[in-house]
């Protein structure tokens, strides 16, 4: 049987210059992404490649995979998948890319073919041919890396391949006496029976759960269930052990979090002089008011009303210093993202407060155009303030070397029609060329003599992690506009 009938179009595609971070969610959701250059197929990227590669673009992450022609045999394709340790391969007609084929679809086709051949042979009375066909296709099924199991509607395990035995750690003789509920670690036996009835009604289902192996360890599994024959009272399930996949996904997220934290610390280090100046003002005021209180207390009689007013000013200035310190601690502290309903206008104000000294030192006029009654957004406030700080400081750098024209920085917020809120950072700096604009968000690309080229890449990763976009365009007259979107916080939470 040839592979051509099982080819499916690739829905998830990307350009070879895209960053691994920008496609991570699609790779994890679809299981793979097709990399292409002007429509020309370059290769496939699976989740394991994101962890294995240290490249700055998708092109750096690609590895060689076996070539599959649409006329290749199913068994040969399964063997190539096992050798290359992948669940998906590209399919070609000569040199033209047709699509992809998944291991699970091959296994399902083989099992279905086996069932149909068995029925045909039984109807025609060719029992010997049936047995030979069944043995041939079952051998192919046994080569599948995914676990395959046939279950009746009572939950009894009827048939299973070697991969299923390996995944759950039981021998075939042990499994033949077990129920699927004996392996299930999330649902109770009663809930398993209800789930089986639902599969019988829907004819198919796909879900994630946990199974308990014979040695007691819990494993994450992805299950796809399909009814074989309602009258026969059996359905087949395909079980994939995703424990390692989830571990890789967690490590990728951990690396991203470490990089984001390092970027925040780097930003705070670069802003140390400005932050020290901002702290010096309330501290100096506290000292001045304290000296005044001491002088007034020594008067005969003491000027109690003025002492009280000065004490109030001391409290006010202390609170001002405390706010600055709390913002610094929030940015410096390494922690997991905490999403909540937040006010984008407040985040803009907080970022401006930390960058105020640099703006004043460089003679930059600040203009805030913050929309009133702005819907709250679903975001991690610290991460969005990190993005705003990066964009503001980039704007300061872009205007630092300009002469003659006024240096103006405008920060805007507004509501979009598709349940999105938009933030804009506009400057009158040197701007960028069309060639530079195409590479602005690439890791390690920078237009600054002493820049690292990671700020904008990290900022885009943060915004995309919030299900938004971060883009740039030339400003009217001179300079640049960087704008991003965030989803509106829904009432349901």
Cβ–Cβ < 8 Å for 376, 488: yes
pLDDT of amino acid 136: 64
Quote the CA–CA distance of 455 and 262 in Å, as a whole number: 11
pLDDT of amino acid 45: 83
pLDDT of amino acid 306: 84
Cβ–Cβ < 8 Å for 421, 374: yes
Quote the CA–CA distance of 136 and 71 in Å, as a whole number: 19
Domain 4-101 classification at class level: alpha beta
Tokens in use for 193? 């029976």
Tokens in use for 170? 């039981």
For residue 479, report the phi and psi dihedrals to the nearest 5 degrees.
Answer: 95, -160
Nearest to 239, CA basis, from 169, 171, 178: 169
Quote the CA–CA distance of 453 and 444 in Å, as a whole number: 4
Domain 107-245 classification at class level: alpha beta
* Count of beta carbons in the 10 Å neighbourhood of residue 289: 20
* Count of beta carbons in the 10 Å neighbourhood of residue 80: 16
pLDDT of amino acid 493: 42
| Three state DSSP letters for the chain | CECHHHCECCCCEEECCCCHHHHHHHHHHHCCEEEEECCEEEEEECHHHHHHCCCCCHHHHCCCCCCEECCCEHHHHHHHHHHHCCCEEEEEECCEEEEEEEHHHHHHHHHHHHHHHHHHHHHHCCHHHHHHHHHHHHHHHHCCCCEEEEEECCCEEEEECHHHHHHHCCCHHHHCCCEHHHCECCCCHHHHHHHHHHHHHHCEEEEEEEEECCCCCEEEEEEEEEEEECCCCEEEEEEEECHHHHHHHHHHHHHHHHHHHHHHHHHHHHCHHHHHHHHHHHHHHHHHHHHHHHHHHCCCCCCHHHHHHHHHHHHHHHHHHHHHHHHHHHHHCCCCCCCEEECHHHHHHHHHHHHHHHHHHCCCEEEEEECCCCCCEEECHHHHHHHHHHHHHHHHHHHHCCCCCCCEEEEEEEECCCCEEEEEEEECCCCCCHHHHHHCCCCCCCCCCCCCCCHHHHHHHHHHHCCCCEEEEECCCCCEEEEEEEEECCCCC
∠ CA 18-208-176 to the nearest 5 degrees?
Answer: 135
pLDDT of amino acid 374: 92
Shared fold status for 4-101 and 247-336? no
Which of the following CATH numbers is that of domain 247-336: 1.10.150, 1.10.287, 1.10.10, 2.60.120?
1.10.287
Exposure string for 384-403, b = 16+ CB within 10 A, e = fewer: bbbbbbbbbbbbbbbbeebe
pLDDT of amino acid 259: 64
CATH for 339-493? Answer: 3.30.565.10
Residue ranges per domain, the chain?
A: 4-101, 107-245, 247-336, 339-493
pLDDT per residue as tens, the chain (493 positions)? 667 778 888 777 888 778 787 888 888 778 888 888 877 888 888 888 777 665 577 777 887 888 888 888 888 888 888 888 888 888 888 888 888 888 888 877 877 777 777 777 666 655 666 666 666 666 656 666 788 888 888 889 888 888 889 999 999 899 989 999 999 888 888 888 888 888 888 888 888 899 999 999 999 998 888 887 777 778 888 888 888 888 887 776 777 666 666 666 666 665 565 566 556 667 777 887 788 888 888 887 888 888 888 888 888 778 767 766 776 666 666 556 678 899 999 999 988 887 888 888 888 999 999 999 899 999 888 888 888 988 998 898 888 878 778 899 999 999 998 789 999 999 998 888 777 777 777 766 666 655 555 678 778 888 888 889 999 999 888 889 999 999 998 854 4
Quote the CA–CA distance of 137 and 178 in Å, as a whole number: 25
Cβ–Cβ < 8 Å for 8, 68: no
Quote the CA–CA distance of 316 and 442 in Å, as a whole number: 44
Cβ–Cβ < 8 Å for 35, 15: yes
Cβ–Cβ < 8 Å for 73, 55: no
pLDDT of amino acid 13: 83
pLDDT of amino acid 324: 65
Distance (Å) of CA 383 to CA 335, 348, 475 = 11, 12, 25
């Amino acid at each position: 049987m040839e592979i051509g009938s099982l080819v499916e179009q690739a829905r998830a595609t990307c350009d070879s210059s895209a960053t691994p971070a920008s496609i991570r969610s699609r790779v994890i959701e679809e299981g793979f992404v097709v990399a292409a250059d002007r429509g020309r197929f370059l290769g496939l990227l699976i989740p394991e490649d994101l962890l294995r590669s240290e490249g700055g673009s998708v092109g750096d992450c690609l590895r060689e995979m076996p070539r599959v022609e649409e006329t290749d045999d199913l068994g040969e394709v399964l063997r190539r998948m096992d050798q290359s340790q992948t669940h998906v391969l590209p399919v070609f007609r000569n040199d033209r890319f047709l699509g992809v084929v998944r291991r699970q679809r091959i296994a399902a086709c083989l099992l279905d073919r086996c069932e149909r051949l068995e029925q045909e042979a039984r109807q025609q009375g060719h029992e010997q041919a049936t047995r030979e066909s069944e043995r041939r296709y079952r051998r192919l099924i046994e080569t599948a890396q995914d676990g395959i199991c046939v279950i009746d509607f009572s939950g009894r395990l009827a048939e299973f391949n070697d991969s299923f035995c390996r995944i759950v750690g039981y021998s075939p003789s042990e499994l033949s006496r077990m129920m699927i509920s004996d392996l299930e670690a999330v649902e109770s036996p009663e809930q398993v029976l209800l789930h089986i009835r639902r599969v019988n009604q829907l004819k198919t289902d796909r879900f994630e759960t946990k199974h308990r192996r014979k040695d007691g360890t819990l494993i994450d599994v992805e299950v796809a269930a399909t009814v074989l024959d309602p009258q026969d009272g059996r359905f087949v399930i395909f079980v994939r052990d995703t424990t390692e996949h989830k571990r890789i996904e967690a490590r990728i997220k951990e690396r991203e979090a470490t990089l984001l934290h390092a970027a925040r610390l780097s930003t705070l280090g670069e802003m140390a002089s400005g932050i020290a100046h901002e702290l010096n003002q309330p501290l100096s005021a506290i000292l001045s008011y304290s000296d005044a209180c001491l002088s007034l207390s020594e008067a005969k009689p003491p000027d109690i009303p003025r002492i009280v007013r000065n004490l109030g000013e001391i409290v006010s200035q202390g609170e001002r210093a405390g706010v600055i310190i709390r913002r610094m601690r929030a940015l410096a502290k390494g922690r997991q993202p905490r999403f909540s309903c937040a006010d984008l206008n407040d985040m803009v104000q907080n970022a401006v407060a930390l960058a105020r000294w640099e703006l004043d030192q460089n003679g930059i006029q600040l203009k805030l155009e913050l929309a009133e009654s702005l819907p709250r957004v679903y975001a991690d406030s610290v991460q969005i303030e990190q993005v705003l700080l990066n964009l503001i400081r980039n704007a300061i750098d872009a205007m630092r070397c300009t002469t003659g024209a006024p240096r103006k920085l405008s920060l805007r917020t507004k509501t979009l029609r598709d349940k999105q809120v938009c933030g804009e950072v506009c400057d009158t700096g040197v701007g960028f060329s069309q060639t530079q604009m195409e590479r602005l968000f690439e890791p390690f690309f920078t237009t600054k003599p002493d820049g690292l080229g990671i700020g904008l890449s990290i900022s885009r990763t943060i915004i995309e992690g919030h299900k938004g976009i971060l883009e740039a365009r030339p400003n009217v007259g001179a300079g640049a506009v960087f704008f991003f979107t965030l989803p509106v916080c829904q009432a349901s939470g």
